[in-house]
Amino acid sequence: MLYQPVNELEALIKAWHCENEASQRLEKAPEIGPLTASALVATVGEAKNFASGRQLAAWLGLVPRQHSSGSKRNLLGMSKSV
């Protein structure tokens, strides 16, 4: 069957997730499952290397929405830049 290798890889990732404390902590956040948490930990590594959450978000490509007028800047919630 075509999906068998995918299922095997997914099982390996979930097994790694069960052994990784950082990945398990990330999974507790809303909308983050074991695959996303594992991918984030594998990509970012040590999050403490970033000075702030905002710096980590910028590194991931997340940027605050802006509603600016003239010299006034109003930063809103986070969105994914395209």
40 and 62 co-located in one domain = no
Task: Tell me, yes or no, whether 4 and 43 share the same domain.
Answer: yes
**Claim to verify: residue 59 and residue 72 sit in the same structural domain:** yes
Q: Please report, in tens digits, the pLDDT of each residue of the chain (82 residues total).
A: 567 888 899 999 999 999 999 999 999 999 899 999 999 999 998 888 999 888 888 888 876 655 556 676 666 565 555 4
Q: Can you give the pLDDT at residue 11?
A: 93
Q: What is the pLDDT of residue 16?
A: 95
41 and 57 assigned to the same domain: no
pTM to 2 decimal places: 0.65
CA dist 10 and 15 (Å) reads 9
- Identify the H or E element spanning 75: strand 75-80
Shared domain check, 55 and 42? no
- Which residues span the domain enclosing 61? 50-82
Residues 37 and 56 in one domain: no
Give the pLDDT of residue 82: 46
- Tell me, what's the pLDDT at 70? 67
Q: Residue 13: its pLDDT value, please? A: 94
